[in-house]
């Protein structure tokens, strides 16, 4: 691969703002911890119910972990272009049509994020009038993640729009390693013609 192509690929990899890289990593770790906690709380709920001594508060913990993991995962996936994004259509295009499709797609995602912020905030405020059982905590703590997720999705979408307008939306696939040598096939013939 020529040096100029390597430099272009290196620049393409650094399109994202570095401060958001750390935020993305933290969100991915948090999402993994939440998913693990969700799995463990479901397992503990099943075990405690099976032995006849259910922990009722586990259902509340499970729902909180599940909802937080969904919304944090949606924000993280938006940064990685893995969610809320139609790649099949835009990747088949080049030039002006691709820019238009990419912008329209991201503007739709941005509109959805503003809905998450606004209506999530309204649910959060109304959540102080309802309480979860058995803890008796206001349900608002369950809804607080919705506007936060919307804000992160908006932030990451604005980053993508800015990068796309400055650097372009075409992102070439990373090249295959040059020193990748195929593994020779294994001789599986058994019998008189087999060579060992």
Across the range 33-60, mean pLDDT stands at 94
pLDDT value of residue 146: 96
How is residue 78 written in tokens?
A: 């938006």
Indicate the domain borders of the chain: 15-167
Sorted by sequence, the CB contacts under 8 Å of residue 126 that are 6+ apart come out as 140
Crossing angle between the packed helical segments 96-126 and 145-167, to the nearest 10 degrees: 160
The answer to whether 98 and 106 are in contact (CB under 8 A) is no
CA separation for the pair 86, 166 (Å, rounded):
21
pLDDT digits (tens, 9 = 90+) for 70-93: 999 999 998 887 754 566 677 777
Count the Cβ atoms, other than its own, within 10 Å of residue 68: 23
Say yes or no to pLDDT of 106 above 70: yes
pLDDT value of residue 98: 82
Say yes or no to pLDDT of 96 above 60: yes
Query: Could you give the percent of the chain with pLDDT greater than 90?
Result: 48
Say yes or no to pLDDT of 7 above 50: no
How is residue 109 written in tokens?
A: 């995602």
Whole-prediction pTM: 0.74
- What are the DSSP calls for 72-90, one per residue? HHHHHHHHTT-SS--HHHH
């Amino acid at each position: 691969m020529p040096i100029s192509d390597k430099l272009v690929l290196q620049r393409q990899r650094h399109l994202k703002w570095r401060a958001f890289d750390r935020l993305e990593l933290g969100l991915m770790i948090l999402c993994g911890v939440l998913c693990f906690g969700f799995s463990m709380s479901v397992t503990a709920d099943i075990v405690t119910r099976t032995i006849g001594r259910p922990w009722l508060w586990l259902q509340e913990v499970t729902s909180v972990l599940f909802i937080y993991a969904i919304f944090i995962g949606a924000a993280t996936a938006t940064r990685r272009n893995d969610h809320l994004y139609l790649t099949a259509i835009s990747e088949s295009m080049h030039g002006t049509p691709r820019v238009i499709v990419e912008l329209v797609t991201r503007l739709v995602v941005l509109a959805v994020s503003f809905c998450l912020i606004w209506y999530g905030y309204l649910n959060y405020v109304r959540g102080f009038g309802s309480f979860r059982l058995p803890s008796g905590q206001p349900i608002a703590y369950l809804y607080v993640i919705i506007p936060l997720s919307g804000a992160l999705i908006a932030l990451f979408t604005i980053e993508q729009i800015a990068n796309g307008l400055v650097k372009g939306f075409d992102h070439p696939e990373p090249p295959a390693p040059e020193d990748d040598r195929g593994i020779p096939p294994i001789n599986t013939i058994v019998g008189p013609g087999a060579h060992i």
